[in-house]
Structure 1
């Protein structure tokens, strides 16, 4: 018999175990697949961002103007200056707001984005509390004292304002507007005109050629309440500039 050879051993590889090279290739394929998926995901995100921010895909298709009465939609759109096809998400809403708010007739405006391609402009137009007759026409004045429009005829349903130069910085204008803003509702239909040269000499002319010396715009609600009582008495001139010492003549 021959003696066994020492220093040599024989291992039996399990039948179900693949060579290391096969395992490596399998892991490599998984890693490559994951990297490819990650790359495609990144490229898809980049492409989507590019389309949204730099192409007309989600660009402006419509400028929707609402709340306008005297102004036309085209007038507002022209001032808003929103270019068709501009990427919706890149629009500077504050700039658009400031441009539209600069229209004299606009008291307030809201600017909204609406996907997929609409910009909505919600306007609040100024309403006149009176009109001032000047050589170039009738100037409409709102509740803030702003002279915001010139029209060929006096505004209907509001009194004439007798002022030298209507302006929100003019004391006479502020006084007249202050009185009209706080005048009792029962008195408003009676007011034909309101005049002032300073902030302390407001005078109302009522129907029937009745005159009311109002004084300043201070304490207007109280003066209005006193005048309502005085108007139950016959007279042509009513003085409520000092409501505690009101007179009728």
Structure 2
């Protein structure tokens, strides 16, 4: 038996309530600001800090290098004995107010060394405004008597100063210009006890050095080579009777 099942469609509601409800719109107002992420804020902070550091460094460098705020206010001199502090300052020629970091210490060193009495100098910058000069003066080891005065000679054989009277305890040098270095080489290598016995050093040539000792004794030295050995031999020979001790050949010394 065939039956036709009537398919029923759902009834469509009609009337005002059957209309679809309209969509609700969001209320209008200020647009929302995008939320900054934490790392963006950190980047901004780092940039600001970097800018502040650059500005600070630039200000410090400008102050130190180009203004007298940290300039030279005092030139301190140490080690000067025969020289005066003013003589050293004048030779250094450092203008007051010069930025301390811009002082050329090598140039100052060279200018101070031009003073004949100066053997060396150490230049130091002492912030905020002091330049210290520590001077090493030459010390005489012999003296050359001349009509214009007594010429002081140091261990480098430099004739560096002339005084009216020779200091006590220094041997007199009666040497030619070519023999001066040889005579100084002998004096500076002698033991202290033997050096105190030396009165005069004579030399016409570098290989003909003669040493006049106290009590009328003389040592014929020859050249300045092997001076420590010759001095040791001389100390032994001086225990014997004699007035002339020849140590020019230390292997074959003689006494007469």
Normalising by structure 1, report the TM-score: 0.85
Residue 21 and residue 180 in structure 1: after superposition, are their counterparts in 2 closer, same or farther (change >3 A)? same
Partners of 2:160 and 2:60 lie apart in 1 by: 46
Deviation at 1:117, TM superposition (A): 0.7
Q: Which residue of 2 aligns with 1:242?
A: 249
Question: 2:42 and 2:171 mapped to 1: Cα distance?
Answer: 84
User: SS state of the match for residue 53, structure 1?
Assistant: helix
Distance 1:245 1:141 in 2: 32
Does structure 2 retain, via aligned residues, the 8 Å contact 1:105–1:148?
yes
Distance 2:47 2:236 in 1: 88
Does the aligned pair in 1 maintain the 2:176–2:205 contact within 8 Å? no
Identify the match of residue 137 of structure 2 among 105, 122, 125: 125
1:34 and 1:240, CA in 2 relative to 1: closer, same or farther beyond 3 A? closer
| Matched ranges for 1:37-76 at <5 A | 39-76=51-88
Residues 1:216 and 2:232 are matched in the alignment: no
Name the SS of the counterpart of 1:203 in structure 2: strand
2:162 is the counterpart of 1:147? no
Query: Aligned ranges for residues 14-93 of structure 1 at < 5 Å?
Result: 19-21=31-33, 39-93=51-105
Normalised by the size of structure 2, how large is the TM-score? 0.83
Structure 2 vs 1, CA of residues 158 and 11 (structure 1 numbering), >3 Å: closer, same or farther? same
Per-residue Cα deviation, 1:117-163 (whole angstroms, up to 9, x for no partner): 11111111111110111222111111111111111111222211112
Q: CA separation in 2, counterparts of 1:137 and 1:230? A: 36
Q: Could you tell me how far apart the structure 2 residues matched to 1:193 and 1:46 are?
A: 66
Q: Distance in 1 between matches of 2:49 and 2:245?
A: 88
- Pick one of 214, 222, 225 that aligns with 2:232: 225
Q: Residue 19 of structure 1 aligns to a residue in which SS? A: coil
Matched with 1:10 is 25
Q: Unaligned stretches of 5+ in structure 2?
A: 1-16
2-structure distance, mates of 1:233, 1:36: 91
Larger Rg: 2
Given that residues 130 and 155 in structure 1 are in contact (C-alpha distance below 8 angstroms), is that contact kept between their aligned partners in structure 2?
Answer: no
Number of residue pairs aligned between Structure 1 and Structure 2: 236
Q: RMSD over aligned Cα, in angstroms? A: 2.7
How big is the shift at 1:213?
Answer: 0.9
State the Cα distance separating 1:44 from its structure 2 match.
3.2
